[in-house]
Amino acid sequence: MIIAPSLLAADYGNFARDSIKAQRAGGEWLHLDIMDGHFVPNISFGPATVKALRSLTRLFFDVHLMCSKPEVLLESFSKAGADQMTVHVELGTRVEPLLWKIRSLGKKVGLAVNPPTNIASVQPYLDKIDLLLVMTVNPGFGGQPFIEETLPKIQQAAVWRRERRLNYRIQVDGGITFNTAAECARVGADTFVSGTGLFGQPRMKTAVAKMRKIVEEVRTASSGA
């Protein structure tokens, strides 16, 4: 399993300090939310910020592109130090060339699906990705409540992975707390993005360890069942 603290919930005046904090707390990945003010009604930060953080930490940089035109951004984020780039299935016919482009840049390939979008839409791409991101809130803002109706989608993603003998990671993002991480783990999630749920805790290291323990217990129980 992987825990990926989301920088969106960090102190915007202290991204450097908080990236280091995420590493020291024991997260494996740093989740970097890129919002363009068009695909989602908010703007976050761009490649220059990612580049500035790259030399400060060894964390795997998990770049989530909530952008209408990722084609114009992939090279910049690749150069800035992204290890993985995730684009949204809602971009329709542009998805396949985008996945190919990410792969050709030598990066891990992620595909995200929003809560209202049918999970069947990701089916054609499952053998082309390293990670499937099942959004558990409507993207755009941190601190929103988890949408329970996304749980069957996670479960379906896990069924397809087993049936087709694929090994993409199943990531959840949005409203992930100790409780909702457990719910997602129970239906097959293995990669947990959490912003407010981790940065909002008084001791982030304790919070990461607690989330890991909760998820590991659920996973052990489900594999023995």
What amino acid positions are annotated as catalytic residues? 33, 173
Residue with Cβ nearer ligand DX5 (166 or 182): 182
Q: How far is the CB of 184 from ligand DX5 (least distance, A)?
A: 12
The span from the CA of 135 to the CA of 153, in Å, is: 10
One DSSP character per residue, 99-140 reads: HHHHHHTT-EEEEEE-TTS-GGGGGGGGGG-SEEEEESS-TT
Beta carbon nearer to ligand DX5, 97 or 143: 143
CA pseudo-torsion sign 121, 181, 31, 45: positive
Q: In this complex, which beta carbon is closest to ligand DX5, that of residue 124 or of residue 145?
A: 145
- Cβ 201 to ligand DX5, closest distance in Å? 12
Contact residues: ligand DX5, CB under 6 A: 6, 8-9, 31, 33, 64, 137, 139-144, 173-176, 193-197
User: Residue 16 is which amino acid?
Assistant: A
Strand (E) positions, the chain?
A: 2-5, 29-35, 60-66, 84-88, 108-113, 131-135, 169-173, 191-194
Residues 196, 143: contact at Cβ < 8 Å?
yes
- Residue 142 binds which entry of ligand DX5, Zn ion, none, with Cβ cut-offs from 5 to 8 Å by kind? ligand DX5
Which of ligand DX5, Zn ion, none lies near 9, with the C-beta cut-off 5 to 8 A by kind? ligand DX5
Report, in Å, the least distance between residue 224 CB and Zn ion.
Answer: 32
Closer to ligand DX5 at the Cβ: 47 or 197?
Answer: 197
Smallest separation, CB 179 to ligand DX5 (Å): 13
* Interacting residues toward Zn ion by CB under 5 A: 33, 64, 173
Rounded distance, CA 64 to CA 25, Å? 21
Query: Smallest distance from the beta carbon of 34 to Zn ion, in angstroms?
Result: 9
Give me the long-range contacts of 98-106 (CB less than 8 A, separation at least 24).
98/70, 98/71, 98/74, 99/125, 99/128, 99/129, 100/128, 101/71, 101/74, 102/74, 103/128, 105/74, 105/75, 105/78, 106/78
Residue 140 interface partner, choices ligand DX5, Zn ion, none, CB cut-off 5-8 Å depending on type: ligand DX5
User: Which residue has its beta carbon closest to Zn ion?
Assistant: 64
Q: Give the nearer residue to ligand DX5 in terms of CB position, either 26 or 166.
A: 26
